[in-house]
Amino acid sequence: MQYLTNIFFIIALIAGIGFFVMNIKKLSRNIKLGKDVNRTDRKSERLKNMMMIALGQSKMVKRPFSGFLHIIVYVGFIIINIEVLEIIIDGIFGTHRIFLGVLGDAFYGFLIGTFEILAALVFVAVVIFWLRRNVSNIKRFLSKEMKGWPKNDGNYILYFEMVLMTLFLVMNATDPTFQQAGIGNPISQFITPLFDGFSADTIHAIERTAWWIHILGILVFLNYLYYSKHLHILLAFPNTYFANLNPKGQFNNLESVTNEVKLMMDPDADPYAMPEEGAEETVPEKFGASDVTDLNWVQLLNAYTCTECGRCTSSCPANLTGKKLSPRKIMMDTRDRLEEVGRNIDTNNGVFVDDNKQLLNDYISPEELWACTSCNACVEECPVNIDPLSIIMDMRRYLVMEQSAAPQELNMMMTNVENNGAPWQYNQQDRLNWANEE
């Protein structure tokens, strides 16, 4: 009988981890749909960013209250899960609290005691997060893009955390040997009296139930991550490592356009020269981005990493002045479209079949794109170094260069730059006329 539970545990573990690995492969395949971009330079700077921002949460504390609570949940969640290692070993081999014998009373008690305190703190922090999301009128949680699934997703994960922390404490509280030893139970000792009067068998059944639901809950949580904004728990690390290190506001030039301009400026160039052999067959590269596959893989990684916290949107001058643009929505739309493309590939045996849809217009409108002031506030604010502006600029580039669909005011300005070398509608010779005006 004992073996049956061990076998069931091993099957649940393999199924949970196997499904997770399958989803991670899908995630990686989707990110690789993006264009290549080289982010292998300046390794020590990248590593430092990752340690400071993803591990050290340095950007979170810019908003101290929510940042502090987030650090409690983050640290608590990671540290408490060390305990999962003991649960896994116990589950596979049918042992009970195997680390107690290995680590000794004092150290084991210290560890579990720390986990219990952290579990209680995480529970309190999560309740405050729930109140902020559902009771307080915090504008960034009430935006249009946060209705439906994004709101529910945020709440589900909070419920998950509350339940997991409770189960951990109940598991300890209903373990008579652990409680009698009096080590590492600073919180659970106050829960134990709730079970006074219960028979030993009932208490044992409650302890086993809490133990099983706790570990199965963790496996479900692991697999829920792929469908949730909580992927950032994992992706914040690569995302901060591969983030753009160039100064904010520095845009890349299109190589094909640069070459054309160089050719125009080169006095020795022959405009009537025959094109190189085979050049006619080369499909010219698309300018800018109209769909997710035109973006680079770091932009797609950004989309999966977005925590939907809305810090970017709450600092966006366009959004604050009532424009349609929300940088958070740009990231959420990019992820939704990428997921749609991924599902299309899955259902068509690994090949994308045109669905007559794209990121531009079907998800993100030109009105949103043109509302951006390119101020970089969203990039600066993002706690995990996401760059919504780069997606906006690539999509604008497509509108201008592929569709000539810039707003009229911009078209006039660009015509002036082309004709007059300046954004104004004056001939270059007339530029200083104002100085002679009476």
Interacting residues toward ligand SF4 by CB under 6 A = 306-312, 316-318, 325, 327-328, 331, 372-378, 381-382, 384, 386, 388-389
Bridge partners of 296, per DSSP, are 35
Residue type, 438: E
CA R_g for the chain: 28
CA distance 404 to 399: 6
Residue (120 or 372) nearer to ligand SF4, CB: 372
Whole-number minimum distance, CB 243 to ligand SF4, in Å? 11
Whole-number minimum distance, CB 67 to ligand SF4, in Å? 13
Bridge partners of 35, per DSSP, are 296
Residue (80 or 386) nearer to ligand SF4, CB: 386
CA distance 151 to 133: 8
Long-range contacts of 196-205 (CB under 8 A, 24+ apart): 200/176, 203/174, 203/176, 204/174
Residue (108 or 226) nearer to ligand SF4, CB: 226
Residue (63 or 357) nearer to ligand SF4, CB: 63
Whole-number minimum distance, CB 237 to ligand SF4, in Å? 14
Whole-number minimum distance, CB 180 to ligand SF4, in Å? 47
- Pull the structure tokens for residue 309: 């916290």
Q: Which of 212, 190, 209 is nearest to 201 (CA)?
A: 209
Whole-number minimum distance, CB 123 to ligand SF4, in Å? 24
Burial of residue 181 (CB within 10 Å: 0-12, 13-18, 19+) is middle
Residue (325 or 341) nearer to ligand SF4, CB: 325
Residue (327 or 342) nearer to ligand SF4, CB: 327
Whole-number minimum distance, CB 382 to ligand SF4, in Å? 3
Work out whether the CA dihedral 197, 202, 204, 210 comes out positive or negative: negative
